[in-house]
Amino acid sequence: MAAVAKLPSLVSSAIAHARPKFNIFMKYARVELAPPKISEIPQIKAGLGKLVHSAKTGAWKDQTVKQATVNALIGAEVLFWFYIGECIGKRHLVGYDV
């Protein structure tokens, strides 16, 4: 019974501690999870152009280990989200329901 009596105060305490972290999360989520704007398309094209140029000239070989690790993790994240989207789209983990 004592645990049940303490439950409302524990819940309110947990909410009070989580609120600042949730606000920070929402601040970054509004910026990072928003789709690109029309005004950002030239920047996207320039970034893709630099990526293609780097691949052609071999400039990607001059990265530091930290930069290469970050780039590999970003690539893995994109790949994982693609696979998650595929699983959601086909509504099965393996194969398609035909």
Do residues 87 and 93 make contact, with C-beta atoms less than 8 angstroms apart? yes
The tens-digit pLDDT sequence of the chain (98 residues) is: 677 788 888 888 989 999 999 999 999 999 888 888 999 999 999 999 998 998 899 888 888 999 999 999 999 999 999 989 888 888 777 776 66
Residue 53's pLDDT is what? 93
Residue 28's pLDDT is what? 92
Q: How far are the Cα atoms of 4, 63, 82 from residue 37, in angstroms, in the given order?
A: 50, 30, 22
Straight-line distance from the first to the last Cα atom of the chain, in angstroms, rounded to the nearest whole number: 54
Residue 43's pLDDT is what? 95
Q: In the chain, which residue ranges form alpha helices assigned H by DSSP?
A: 2-32, 41-57, 65-90
C-alpha torsion 87→91→94→96, nearest 10: -120
Residue 38's pLDDT is what? 94
Residue 97's pLDDT is what? 66
